[in-house]
Amino acid sequence: MSDLHAQTVPYVRDTMLPEQSPPAAQSGAVRWLRENLFSSWFNAALTLLGVAVIYFFIAHYFPWFRHGVWNAASLQECRAIIAEKWGPEASGACWAVIRERWNQIIFGFYPTELYWRPILTFVLLFVAMAPVLYTQLPRVLLWGTVAYPLVAMWLLWGGSIWPVVMIAFGFMLGGVILRIVSRWSALGALVAAIVVPVLFWAFLMGPIDDDLSYIAPIALRPIGSDQFGGFLLAIVIGVGGIVMSLPLGIMLALGRQSDMFLIKTLSVVFIEFIRGVPLITLLFVASTLLNYFLPPGTNFDIILRVMILVTLFSAAYIAEVIRGGLAALPRGQYEAADALGLEYWRAQRLIILPQALKISIPGIVSTFIGMFKDTTLVTFVGLYDPLKSIPDAIRNNFEWKGIYWEPFIFVGVIFFVLNFAMSRYSMYLERRLQRDHH
């Protein structure tokens, strides 16, 4: 039988063939090119088009960057250097303007010898943010975060330290009263904690401030808002707006979800009104209209006014983002909180908001990015933003007349880096906070 079988099967391989490498078109760079760039005639055409676009940009703009001049006192000098070095036809970037004026782009017209104050404020910002961003740090540091806005205000605008201390004291007074009186009556404590500090600020702050300033005159040189500018201004308005708009946005979102008709109506009207008008009109309200609605003779700082309106603006958007987060939360979470017997605020604080805020992180961060970009619009109410007013001011000098692209590129790159970093951080945060197993 076995003989017969051996004769019917003409050939049986009894050894394994050595493994061979795949054909050239199926491996390595060629395969990658075929799959990713030339998988069909349409893709091939797109690839060629893309290469052509890249080539066009490099061929046109790379020489401009390569011819860049870093050391010159004026645009004419830049052009002279480029013409001498690369020939009369060559064009090149004049980065010397950035080298000479970058202080102005960053700090505006802040006095040069006082740059340490905004720099210190900026460094302290990270110290203040650290306990919020890194939960491993001791919780005591959060008190520094709470105190930071007042410290920053004093460092940036200067003046006597005592009004700032008085404001902080008022808050502390409120906190202490809340703690003590709530032993007898929660509502009474709340009312007292609001009324007493307000009375303190209204009647006692002035005289005490005068006395203390007389006894111990601790003061920094006052800097007016008209000397702020550049990225200093953008960051002050941006960070101030972010810090103030988040709590307001949460309150508005809860108000919009509320069962109480009046609260809900007020929230909806406010949110829809703010979202329905351009920010620029609100800035005009800040610069011209606000004075009409305040007691005659009131005239407070323009940056503060702008910051208030920017806060209201972004609070409305944040409220909508958080409302999305609240709506995305399964009903069971609300019902479970009710079943545990938690009252409204406790349920919100312990169960609803932590989850809803987690869901809304991407939206909140993109609102913040949008607001930071929108801080450039303050140029239209006469503040020195880094994008339009400062470059315009630089161009007004005879030496830098007609310089367009270099300031645009410099400012654009800074905005890009800051915003891109923010969006990446939000993606990281989203991943870190993810609790379900996808």
Partner 1 sequence: MAFAHDAPERGFRLSQLIYDTRYRSLTIQAVTMILVMLGVWWLIGNLLDNLNALGKTFDFGFLEQRAGYDIAQTLIPYSNDSTHARAALVGLLNTLWVSLLGCIAATVIGVVVGILRLSNNWLIARLMTVYVEAFRNVPVLLWILVALAVMTELTPSPSAYRGDDPAAQMLLFDSIAFTNRGTHIAAIEFTRGLGVINTPLAPISLNFVAFALVVIGSIWANRKLRAHAARVQEATGVRPTIWWKSLLILLGPAIFLLLALGITFSLPVLERFNFTGGLNVSNALVSLWLGLSLYTAAFIAEIVRAGILSVSSGQSEAAFALGLRPNRTMKLVVLPQALRVIVPPLISQFLNLTKNSSLAIAVGYMDLRGTLGGITMNQTGREIEAILLMMLIYLLISLSISGVMNLYNRSVKLKER
Q: How far is the CB of 36 from partner 1 (least distance, A)?
A: 4
- For the bound state, the minimum distance from the C-beta of residue 123 to partner 1, rounded and expressed in Å, comes to 24
Position among 94, 353, 415, 426 found at the interface with partner 1 (CB under 8 A): 415
Q: Which stretch binds partner 1 (CB under 8 A): 123-131, 138-146, 167-175, 257-265?
A: 257-265
Residue range at the interface with partner 1 (CB under 8 A); choices 123-131, 173-181, 266-274, 304-312: 266-274
Is residue 346 at the binding interface for partner 1, with CB under 8 A as the rule? no
Q: Is 17 a binder of partner 1 (CB under 8 A)?
A: no
90 touches 83 (CB < 8 A): yes
Residue from 37, 124, 268, 308 in contact with partner 1 (CB under 8 A): 37
* Identity of the residue, 152 or 364, whose beta carbon is nearer to partner 1 in the bound complex: 364
**Nearest approach, Cβ of 6 to partner 1 (angstroms)?**
48
In whole angstroms, the minimum distance from the beta carbon of 162 to partner 1 comes to 29
Q: Least CB distance from residue 413 to partner 1, whole Å?
A: 9
Residue closer to partner 1 by CB (options 217, 278) is 278
* Span 372-391, contacts to partner 1 by CB under 8 A: 373-374, 376-377, 379-380, 387-388
Q: Return the residues of window 270-289 that contact partner 1 according to CB under 8 A.
A: 272-273, 275-281, 284-285, 288-289
Q: How far is the CB of 288 from partner 1 (least distance, A)?
A: 5
237 touches partner 1 (CB under 8 A): no
Select 219 or 277, whichever has its Cβ closest to partner 1: 277
Give 203 or 405: the residue with its C-beta nearer to partner 1: 405
> Which residues lie closer than 8 Å to 155 by C-beta, 6 or more apart?
117, 118, 120, 121, 124, 220
- Measure the CA–CA gap between 31 and 24, rounded to whole angstroms: 8
Nearest to 270 by CA among 299, 242, 249: 249
Residue type, 33: L
Residue 369 binds to partner 1 (criterion: CB under 8 A): yes
CB of 400 to partner 1, least distance (A): 15
Phi-psi domain of 218 (left: phi exceeds 0; alpha: psi -120 through 50; beta: other): beta
Work out how close the CB of 131 gets to partner 1 at its nearest, in angstroms, rounded to a whole number. 28
Residue that has been written with the tokens 């169960």 in this structure: 351
202 counts as binding partner 1 under rule CB under 8 A: no
Size of the site for partner 1 (CB under 8 A): 56
User: CB of 258: closest distance to partner 1 in angstroms?
Assistant: 9
Q: Are strands 159-160 and 219-220 parallel, antiparallel or unpaired?
A: antiparallel
Residues 177-196 that bind partner 1 (CB under 8 A): 187
Scan residues 288-307 and list those touching partner 1 (CB under 8 A). Answer: 288-289, 291-296
Q: How far is the CB of 179 from partner 1 (least distance, A)?
A: 20
Residue 182 or 419: which CB sits closer to partner 1? 419
Residues found near partner 1 in the complex (CB under 8 A): 35-37, 39, 43, 46-47, 50-51, 53-54, 187, 259-263, 266, 272-273, 275-281, 284-285, 288-289, 291-296, 369, 373-374, 376-377, 379-380, 387-388, 404-405, 408, 411-412, 415-416, 419-420, 423
